[in-house]
Amino acid sequence: MSRIGNKPINFPAEVTVTLAGQEISVKGAKGDLKLTVHPNMSLEVNDADRVVKVSRPNDLRENRALHGLTRSLIQNMVEGVVKQFERRLTVVGVGYNASLAGKKLSLQVGFANTVVLEVPPGVDVEVPAPTSVIVRSADKQAVGQFAANVRQVRPPEPYKGKGIRYENEQVRRKSGKAFGSK
Q: Which of 43, 60, 58, 48 is nearest to 8 (CA)?
A: 43
Triad 99, 104, 110: Cα angle to 5° = 50
Residue 32 pLDDT: 94
- Consecutive sets of 10 residues in the chain, 182 residues long: mean pLDDT of each? 84 94 94 95 93 93 94 96 96 95 95 96 96 96 97 94 93 82 54
Q: Which of 35, 36, 34, 31 is nearest to 136 (CA)?
A: 31
Is domain 3-82 annotated with CATH 2.40.50.140? no
Residue 116 pLDDT: 97
Phi and psi at residue 76, in whole multiples of 5°?
A: -65, -35
- Check if 3-82 and 85-166 are the same fold: yes
Q: Kindly list the domain boundaries of the chain, sorted by start residue.
A: 3-82, 85-166
**Model confidence pLDDT, tens digit, residues 28-57:** 999 999 999 999 999 999 999 999 999 999
Q: CA Rg, the chain, in Å?
A: 21
Residue 2 pLDDT: 57
Number of H helices, E strands in the chain: 3, 13
CATH superfamily of 85-166: Ribosomal protein L6 (3.90.930.12)
**Model confidence pLDDT, tens digit, residues 117-127:** 999 999 999 99
Residue 96 pLDDT: 96
